[in-house]
Chains A and B, each alone.
Chain A
Amino acid sequence: MFIRRLPKFEYHAPGSVSEALDLLERYGERAAVLAGGTDLVVAMKKRERNPEHLINLKGIEDLRGISFDEKEGIRIGALTPLRELERSGVLEERFSPLWDAVNVMASPQIRTLATLGGNLCSAMPSADTVPPLIALQASIKISGKGGERKMVVENFFRGPGEPDLRPGEILTHILIPKQPENHGGVYLKLMRRNAMDLAQVGVAVCLSLDSEKKICRQARIALGAAARTPMRAEGAEKVLLNREISQKTAKEAGRIASEEGTPRSSIRASREYRTAMIGVLTERAVMEADRRIRSMKT
């Protein structure tokens, strides 16, 4: 009912992924992995989660860091703190929706601790990094005793709080491919106040225009806090394909997106408000993505 001191547990600090997987296999359901702790530690204090064994992944060097390759795209270790992403020039320039998201998440003292992998594995419908990753066509790498698997981010969520992680598996890396020509994107977030809040609605839009920067050749729209899991608004995307981006088409995309979303009412916002705001934010995000492409130097 009320927040308490942490419950008792045994602490493990593996130095490698294989060590971590061994521990997970040994302790099974009695174990939980610790990344930034900004979700897990709070949940444990509320006794919502009570693992007997805590496996701290932060000592595993392989799981941290951002590496960029012109051809391959960007590879981010799951244990990379949001603060590092916030300061990544390559993220800001070339994968801006994710950079936008990190900038409106939590607070400085949380961003130092919270990790990208942690945000994904929380599988909250409102997780801010997810719509941008979906819009950017990101995929993730998962390691288990049985080997590695890879999947696109949008398939990673089974339900609120339920990531598609099998027992004994760890999310290790997030991969964002090189984006197409004349690409631009943005993430917009609506909150009750101007800082340190979960999204009432989050919209990520990635557009790619033709070589004349006139016609939209690719559109990806992803919504957060709009359904039980983060979702693509494929109907809205179709509205923009092979057309010129204008206030009219953006508005139409917004309208369709708000019909595709199935948000629920919560103390943060009502269903009706969220539905309407999916439309407003999608329209604005489309226009902003377009504006960013046009203001690019190349």
Chain B
Amino acid sequence: MRQEEVTLKVNGVSYRLHIEPWRTLVEVLRDTLGLTGTKKSCNEGECGACTVLMDGKPAASCLVLAMDAQGKEIVTIEGVSEGEKLHPLQEAFLKHGAIQCGFCTPGMVMSAKALLDEHPHPTSTEVRKAISGNLCRCTGYQQIVDSVLAASKAMGEKS
């Protein structure tokens, strides 16, 4: 049982790491790379707090072996904004009261981003479906849905 050499590309940066094969992606992101924006809660793929993007697709990083994430473009919440410039989704979340305790927020943003990247103009039902794997206890989801729709509108106006 030995460590393996692994190259992970996270938020555009390549990291060469030595990790045990039994480490999950969420553990490596948080503990090895110090990217603690991605959260860990249930550790069984049920809550969505660990959602990251892998090649643009939302994935439960608690169920992905870090070894298995090689060769993929991984984007975490830290990679959504560009320095101080926030993504329109993040701006919308701030503007429409979509954030309370903030624990589900990173996962929510990732799921919402994956949706808008694929479907720039979703309906409210499609938004709800896209975030149906992200549990929130604080907000009741209403303002999160409103934010995603607002972001979609804002992004549409820009293009």
Contact = CB atoms under 8 A, between A and B. Distances in A.
A266 B138 CA distance: 30
B8 interface: no
A45 B68 CA distance: 17
A291 interface: no
Nearest to A41: B63
A109 B65 contact: no
A5 interface: yes
A45 to B, nearest CB: 6
Interface in A42-67: 42, 45, 54, 56, 58
> Binding site of A, secondary structure by majority: helix, strand, loop or mixed?
loop
Given A10-B1, A10-B21, A108-B130, A113 B51 contact: no
B37 interface: no
Contacts of B132: 107-108, 194-196
A106 interface: yes
Contacts of B21: 9-11, 54
A242 interface: no
A196 B46 contact: yes
A34 B63 CA distance: 11
Contacts of B57: 83, 112
A196 B43 CA distance: 15
Interface of A: 3, 5-11, 13, 34, 36-38, 41-42, 45, 54, 56, 58, 83, 106-110, 112-113, 194-196
Given A9-B21, A11-B21, A195-B132, 10 more contacts: A5-B24, A37-B63, A37-B65, A42-B63, A54-B21, A56-B67, A107-B132, A109-B133, A112-B54, A196-B133
